[in-house]
Amino acid sequence: MAQHFDAIVIGAGMSGMYQLIKLRELGLSTRVFEAGTNVGGTWYWNRYPGARFDSETYSYQFSFDKELLETWDWKEHFAPQPETLSYLNHVADKYDLRRDIQFRSRVKSAHYQEKTNTWLVTLEDGSEYTSHFLITAVGPLSAPTMPAIPGVKDFKGTSYHTANWPHEPVKFEGKRVAVIGTGATGVQTIQEVAKTAKTLTVFQRTPNWCAPLLNRPITPEEMKEIRAGYPALFQRCMETFSCFIHTPIQKNTFEVPKEEREKVWEELYNSPGFGIWLGNFKDMLMDREANAAISEFVANKIRQRVKDPVTAEKLIPKNHGFGTRRVPMETKYYEVYNQDNVKLVDIKETPIECINATGIKTSNAQYDFDIIIFATGFDAITGSFDRIDFRGVGGEKLRDRWRYGPETYLGMSTNNFPNMLMLVGPHMALGNIPRTIEFNVEWVTGLVKFAVDNKIDRIEPSAEDVQKWTDHVKSLGEGNLAFEVDSWMTGVNSNVEGKQVRIINRYSGSAPEWRRLCTEAAARGYTEFCRKMPVAA
């Protein structure tokens, strides 16, 4: 017989870990299923060379545990992946989380069973478990996609997807290496691999607007100051639009004279982190001319940094403006293309025809390699849901329901999927994700506690509320230039069938507003979730 739990959580990344801590506080028997061999989610899987935070480290950690904040020292302003992973392992040790996490356990399906009002969860090895609550902590960027290029499996050398990187170090010395993909991951990988590879050939389909990260170590004195500033830092993160420490300048671009404007941009370009993206003039992502002006500023930086003008032009995006896709943060990325061992292949100009036993064939050349790195991204936001066969009331498939885009209430639930709650799912404020995770987990925990305390067996929003929220999220996307561009943020993935059309899959209002709406829903006594039940007098 299937083993039963009060709650099953899928995924042991940051959201699954914190959810486990909170469910234990409620005294619920909980099992977390995790495909990997340890905790960490994104930071467990993405071990590729150069992987690191693009956000200020200290703003991206858990804030719920004062003792943890007091005792953990960060070493770099933008921590490399190994440092973040050891932090998350430290959290898992501190809370003895692993005893409730079953590793090497990929969930294949989760079916709601009407008769028993339980979820039947089946792992890929065929083992079965049931639970009353089902909480997804599957991550928005966790379903890696290989490129839909003919012959992708024919290569006889070594190949890796960045999100399935081996645990052992990979050496590039003396090797002919290819990287396909120039998103945030590709950029980090390229600038690292270029240091040691015999040759590095970058296959770029669409250039992205990259900006300097300007990372540096944190000195012990700085760490003391950072720690003393934690309350103010987390307060600030809860007030900004997307929970980052950066906040837009409260002026429109052309309200400021050209000279002054360029001075501001110069300062932003020379400041660490996402400031130039998230701390720029407030109309940058809404006004075409304002966006064109900052794009030209950054294009000129690329022209100054890349010696060969033809290569420089290839590296300047022409089909989208600055900041309308996720801005990759870089450390001497553009200078890589001044190195003799690095070559840029523009595959819009000379498309890849196939991958074969020895390398990559484009329309005008055959390139042979020892290693091919696929930095080709993820089936984002809904992809990790699509890979699990979720079925709700009457066997309805979530995959079918969301075929033309997700439908949710508050980004945490959908109708016909009772007692299933989502962490960092579609239609919620993403931004600085750990800040969202903490709120999201605490909100879900509040709802679960309410249901348990009030003996409410079935929590589920109505179809009307789901429709209303989905329409609201869609309307927020209007006028936002980022929704006019193909990217993972608009649900487009050329490698996944049926995902060629842009959709609105994330909440683009402010995080404080999203939290306000969720908090109000809780304050109403979660009535939208419990409408079938008598409301307590």
**Positions that interact with ligand NA7 (CB under 6 A):** 141, 147-149, 180-186, 205-206, 326, 347, 375-378, 488, 494-495
Task: Measure Cα distances from 163 to 6, 340, 439 in Å.
Answer: 32, 28, 27
Min CB(203)–ligand NA7 separation in Å: 6
- Residue 376 token pair: 């080709």
Q: Cβ-closest residue to ligand NA7?
A: 183
CB 6 within 8 A of CB 29: yes
CB neighbour class for 159 (10 Å; exposed up to 12, middle 13-18, buried from 19): middle
Min CB(101)–ligand NA7 separation in Å: 24
| Nearer to ligand NA7 (CB atom), residue 149 or residue 344 | 149
Task: Measure Cα distances from 207 to 103, 148, 213, 330, 527 in Å.
Answer: 38, 19, 18, 13, 47
Task: Classify residue 18 by its DSSP letter.
Answer: H
Identity of the amino acid at 133? F
Q: Which residues pair with 378 in a beta bridge?
A: 144
> CA-CA distance, 76 to 132, in Å (whole number)?
42
Q: Which residues pair with 367 in a beta bridge?
A: 360
| Nearer to ligand NA7 (CB atom), residue 71 or residue 364 | 364
| Nearer to ligand NA7 (CB atom), residue 149 or residue 193 | 149
Min CB(377)–ligand NA7 separation in Å: 3
| Nearer to ligand NA7 (CB atom), residue 33 or residue 507 | 507
CB 25 within 8 A of CB 105: no
Task: Classify residue 90 by its DSSP letter.
Answer: H
Min CB(333)–ligand NA7 separation in Å: 13
Min CB(410)–ligand NA7 separation in Å: 23
Identity of the amino acid at 233? L
| Nearer to ligand NA7 (CB atom), residue 499 or residue 515 | 499
CA pseudo-torsion sign 323, 497, 410, 88: negative
Min CB(42)–ligand NA7 separation in Å: 8
| Nearer to ligand NA7 (CB atom), residue 252 or residue 311 | 311
CB neighbour class for 68 (10 Å; exposed up to 12, middle 13-18, buried from 19): middle
Min CB(111)–ligand NA7 separation in Å: 30
Neighbours of 185 (CB within 10 A): 26
Min CB(54)–ligand NA7 separation in Å: 7
| Nearer to ligand NA7 (CB atom), residue 183 or residue 275 | 183
Q: Which residues pair with 390 in a beta bridge?
A: 110
| Nearer to ligand NA7 (CB atom), residue 180 or residue 466 | 180
